Amino acid sequence: MFFFLDTASVESYMDRQRRVQEKGKDLIVQMQSVSENMKSNADKLTCTLTSEIHKQFNSVFKTMQDRMTASIKEVVADQVKQGFKNHASVIEDSVINAVRSRAVTPSPNIDSHVCYISVPI
């Protein structure tokens, strides 16, 4: 009888240990699933963040490029206008000199071909 009680208690202990191990296995499976989900979500987050940063960078770069292009166009247009004004002034001086040279009174001699106009670019 002593042997029977001892065997029963060992079997009871073994059953409890089996249940604890099964619960532990279930917990391990759940933890592995959570770990895989976290890794997958981290990968998705990395891709999403990379894509969003790329979009934002392109947007900022495009805006900066458009502003710079407009600014350069404005500066070039102003410089061309100034160059034309200077050229018109030289032509006007040449015409005035030509008209004066036919006049009876002498006019100052300005050689317009020697004068150089610098147009900053």
Structure pTM?
0.48
Quick one: pLDDT band at residue 68, thresholds 50, 70, 90? very high
- Whether the per-residue pLDDT at 63 is higher than 60: the answer is yes
Of 23-27, 33-37, 43-47, least confident by mean pLDDT is: 23-27
What the block records as the tokens of 111 is 């050689």
Using CA atoms, how far apart are residues 119 and 77, in angstroms rounded to an integer?
12
Identity of the highest mean pLDDT range in 18-32, 55-69, 103-117: 55-69
At 113, the pLDDT band (50, 70, 90 cuts) reads low
The rounded distance, in Å, linking the Cα atoms of 37 and 34 is: 5
Tell me the CA distances in angstroms from 54 to 41, 50, 66, 79, 121, one per residue in order. Answer: 20, 6, 18, 37, 35
